[in-house]
Structure 1
């Protein structure tokens, strides 16, 4: 498949830095690329947002760009 595209995801980062809910904000137009972006994101860990010393859950937007080289 010679697909290229950009996927914009919105993800909820839980207090422990793991990924909670993930939503597609803007699809690449190819479900395979969208699913690959979600799968990649689910393998990541984040430093959670903090208010003082207290970790908090928060939403972030994460872009993925797929290009052929």
Structure 2
């Protein structure tokens, strides 16, 4: 099982998380979409480990859209 989480570094709150059997792009995209539903994400800075999911065109297009 793989866990993808987005943490607010201001108050250490987990804003969104998603669990999957695969560590793939869908896991990361689903997590970002959950975070978007929960909060106003305009002007947010996301930090990642720069794995293949985070350098994909689909992920970067979604982040620019949000």
User: Which structure has the bigger radius of gyration?
Assistant: 1
As a proportion of its length, which structure holds more helix?
Answer: 2
User: What TM-score results when the alignment is normalised by the length of structure 1?
Assistant: 0.27
Q: Which one has more relative contact order, counting CA pairs under 8 Å at least 6 apart?
A: 1
As a proportion of its length, which structure holds more strand?
Answer: 1
